[in-house]
Every structure is written in structure tokens, then in C-alpha cells.
Amino acid sequence: MKKFNKTVKRVGLVANTDKPSCPRLARQAVRLIQSQNRLVLADARTAELAGLQVETCPDTAALARQVDVIIIFGGDGTMLRVARDIAGARTPILGINTGALGFLTAVQAQQLPLALEQIWAGETELEFRPLMEARGLAQGKPYRKLALNDFVVTRGALPRLIELDVTVDGQTLTRYRADGLIVCSPTGSTAYSLAAGGAVVSPSAEVFTITPICAHTLSNRSVIVSLRSTIEVRVGSPRVETVLTADGQPPLRLASGEVVTIRRSRHSVALVHLAGGSFFDTLRRKLNWSGTNV
């Protein structure tokens, strides 16, 4: 963590306008920010659907180039989308949680005034999270995908096991027979990987987690490798549909023999945190860890 003590003069707003509370919160943010004589901008969709009378940018990538910080109203899905869209801009983002669990959107809606006060006073903190990238061929066509949470290679609609050969830095790990495989960053350890039995990983840990989904061999467990590693996943199932998804986005269909190459991206995302908060505080609160008396 490091202090985010930059003087903030221009604030960008992005909202998941499918959530009923987001437009109202965006309008509240405009009033609070403008009351401090700071400029508000928004992406075109947010401005239109929330009825904001502010300067607009065509998309979040353009918005990131024009502002000092972006405030996002929504859930972790909205945060993941913005993180991918602005990759390379390094503009800090602050998530206001209007979803359910929300590990990335750690600030609650009622804390919006407090969050803005801390930003003005230079009291918030920045945490840099690495993005991942996947490259390869999908049905013979080249692709490059970015993800903040995870890449998932999984079966299609038919409930059949797929076979995936995995290597790490050129060394054979194993052949999985499973419903699929999750390769996640430290940020993604509390998402699909956790639901599939993977470990909770501190965001500061420099590791990938490789987690099988419903593996046929009971001895198959999550494997943790260096974030500097290159992971290759080769599709070995000629008759079962196999797909690749990045952060849960629309899938790419893979052919038998095609290889997904996953490594750390050169891009990262800067998350704004309120002073005094921590990943472990969020973890205990979100997962309802109450502990025990001894």
C-alpha cells in the first residue's frame, strides 16, 4: 500500500445502471464533488442513463485518460470490466459496492461522503493488483485476452469431462480430467477459485493458483505457482466442446490440440482503499468469519 496523496481535480464516474441504486448514487456523487469545486466527468452510458449533466467521454478508456481518479458504482463485475478497459492507464479506481459480496468494491454506499473526504485530504491508500493475459488460437484464430480475476477453461453445454494437459514453465504438471480448470491471480482467489476449493491468497502474494473444477481424480488439488511462471493449458478432448472465459466474459470456443498460454500481464490496476482498512478485515466481514473463543 502507498498513500494516494495526489491533488484530485477531475473525477470520473462509471455506474452499473442496471442496478437500481447506482443512478441515484452517481447523482449524489456529482453534487458532493461539485460542491468542492472539482470537475466531474462520466462515460457516455453512465451520463445518459443516470441523467448526469456533466462532461462525457465515449468510453471508460477515454475517461481514464482525462481524470485523476475513477469512482465506480456497482459490484465486482463492474470493477473487473473497468480494470480491463483501462489497462495501461494506471488511473486509480475506487469501487462503491451496490452488489452482494464485493471484494473489489470494498467501500459501502453509505461511506461515499467519507470516501470523498479522505480523497480530498490525501488520506486514502493505493494498492496495485496485477492483470493476467492469455494468448493462443481459438478455432484457428489468434486472440489476446486480459483478466483481473481468472481464466477458466471449461466444458461446454454437455455434462462431460474434458481433458486438459497443463505445463508450468515447460515442465509437465498433469493431465486433468475434470469439468474444467481455473487459473487465477491473487485477486481472483476469492472468486470462482474459492468456490471450487482453492485457497484464499493475500493480494500481495506473487502467485497464480491453478484449481481443477470437479476433478475425476480425487488427489487433484489446487497448485500454487510463481506469478512469473508461464502456464500452458492444452485441450485434449476431441469430441467434447471446450471453451475459454476471461473474468466470466463471453467464451471463446477451443479446438482439440489448441493451447492457452497464460502469464502475468505488464499492466496492473490501482485500487483506492479507505485509510485503516485491510484485505483481512474485508475477508472476515464478507465471509462472516466470526472465529471462536479459546
Name the amino acid, one letter, at 184.
C
Active site residues: 76
User: How many C-beta atoms lie closer than 10 Å to residue 36's C-beta?
Assistant: 13
Alpha-carbon gap, residue 201 to 173, rounded angstroms = 21
Residue 49 grid cell: 442513463
87/64 Cα distance (integer angstroms): 10
How large is the C-alpha radius of gyration of the chain?
A: 20
Cα distances (Å, whole numbers) of residue 163 to 21, 216, 248 = 43, 10, 21
Within 13 Å, how many C-alpha atoms sit on residue 93's CB side? 36
Question: How large is the angle between the packed helices 112-121 and 21-34, nearest 10 degrees?
Answer: 30
Evaluate whether 92 touches 69 at the Cβ level (below 8 Å): yes
What's the CA gap between 186 and 143, in Å, rounded?
24
